[in-house]
Structure 1
Amino acid sequence: MTHHDNFMYLTFALTLLLLSTAIAQQFFDDSIQRFVQSTTVVTLLLAVWGVKSEHVLLTKAAIFPSAIILTSMIGNYTNAFGIEFTHLILMLFFFIFTAFQTLKQVIFSGKIDGNKILGSICLYLLLGLIWALLYTLAQLYFGNAFSGLGESQAWYILFPDFIYFSFVTLTTLGFGDISPTLPLTRFLVYFQAISGQFYLAIIIASLVGARMSSMTQEGDQHNR
């Protein structure tokens, strides 16, 4: 995997993560969800290895997956709230770090190609996952941050529902089956909706337009 095709692998990994979460929730019991969420670490590792960066922070970022695995294992055996909360915060920071590294490669390096278009899709998926983690943390901390959820307060049961809610909000579908009940979570929801619209209107449109312009220029040069 190189910086010329890394986003193809990351797109596949993120899609597989979302699909496996849905399948586990549909067909298996709750204990399987914890195992499925652990595959997030694999996705994060793919992002670390794949995104081009010469900064030492990228090497040090390998600490995050190790810490995520450790807190996941401890939380699995102890069910300690503090450990699981720490686990989610580590996941959140690493997703943010991954999104930042992805943004740098997509926007600020080299010409626009197919890999960067895929990178912009990866960034969109990462935004959805980042907000899903924020919603999960809010629900765990406040206990009544959202309505329309089940009785369970286990993070690995809440997280799939918030993945669904996050992408429904990001795309401004707004089905209304889950809704925020606190001022802070309402802010998170409408700010995500605004961010999703600006992302599609500015970044994706700009990248696709630049790619089409580049292809047209290459075609004109070839014809000459």
Structure 2
Amino acid sequence: MQTSPVRRSSPDKMIYVLVLVIIVQTIYPLTADGSLLTQIIYSLFYASLIVSGIVVAREQRQDIRLLTVLGATWFISSIIYNLNQHATWARFLAYGAIIPYQIAVTRVLLLYIFASKKVTRDVIYAAAAVYILIGAIFVPTYGLIETITYEQTGTNAFVDTTVEPGQVFPWQNFAYFSYVTLTTLGFGDIQPVTLVARAAVTIESVIGVFYTTVIMARLVSLYTAQGVEAEIKHDHTQTG
């Protein structure tokens, strides 16, 4: 009897990575109250993504060191930001520290996906986690654009029906906006105003479409190759 080409790796370590990424990217509304304790707890959850990177790159010491350094740097920066939430320099620090960290985690997962020779559940979980992390990377990117624009011009780079003109743009709003942009839903309640903001939004939309296309092609090609391999083995078994 022919077996399915989709194989189960042992153990399914990536399911924990995916669940952690989903939790981190969905519990952010809890931080809207501005409570220091809530912010720190959320930062701890986010810093735990270091573990997910280490689980994947446990044989690559250089990647582990990089993830550890970037994760620790961001966590310290987040604590500083939580203690100075209304300071512009603190927002710059937090946004600037988290982007390299997110990119490093995403890179490790992408390398894992494209190094895999078989379609396993871990590969599928990793692909889903990367998609979510792409949206996460653009949250601080939009935050930096907004902060720089406001400091230079006194106007906002984005407009939001829930944010008054001249008011500090909450990063939580960017978390929502990023995933609306990534999935090309475009509700229109938040809009980019400046050319730089529009360029960033366009880039995220293109990446969202491009990523799903490339990943689907990768998984389908691996699945097809496994199917052919399984057929050959089956034929050899029957004729042997």
Q: Which range, TM-score by smaller chain?
A: 0.7 to 0.9
Q: Which of 185, 188, 196 is 1:176 aligned to?
A: 188
Could you tell me whether the CA contact under 8 Å between 1:170 and 1:192 is conserved in 2?
yes
Change in 2 beyond 3 A, CA 1:3/1:221: closer
**Greater CA deviation, 142-151 or 10-19?**
142-151
AA matched with 1:74: I
* Percentage of identical aligned residues: 25
* Separation in structure 2 between the aligned mates of residue 206 and residue 48 of structure 1, nearest angstrom: 22
Q: Looking at CA atoms only, which structure, 1 or 2, has the larger radius of gyration?
A: 2
AA matched with 1:139: E
What whole-Å deviation, never above 9, does each CA across 1:110-153 have from its counterpart, x for those lacking one?
Answer: 32311111111111111000011201111122131100152452
Gaps of 5+ in 1: none
* Separation in structure 2 between the aligned mates of residue 191 and residue 212 of structure 1, nearest angstrom: 31
2:160 is the counterpart of 1:153: no
Aligned-pair distance for 1:36?
A: 5.1
* Separation in structure 2 between the aligned mates of residue 187 and residue 112 of structure 1, nearest angstrom: 35
Match of 2:40 in 1: 35
Normalised to the residue count of structure 1, the TM-score between the two structures is 0.84
Match of 2:3 in 1: none
Normalised to the residue count of structure 2, the TM-score between the two structures is 0.79
Matches within 5 A, 1:90-169: 90-143=97-150, 144-148=156-160, 149-151=162-164, 152-153=167-168, 158-169=170-181
AA matched with 2:201: V
Could you tell me whether the CA contact under 8 Å between 2:18 and 2:129 is conserved in 1?
yes
Greater than 4 Å deviation, 4+ residue runs: none
SS in 2 for 1:61: helix
* Separation in structure 1 between the aligned mates of residue 221 and residue 10 of structure 2, nearest angstrom: 22
Aligned-pair distance for 1:70?
A: 1.7
2:233 is the counterpart of 1:218: no
Change in 2 beyond 3 A, CA 1:185/1:73: same
What whole-Å deviation, never above 9, does each CA across 1:67-108 have from its counterpart, x for those lacking one?
Answer: 222222223334443233212211110101111111111012
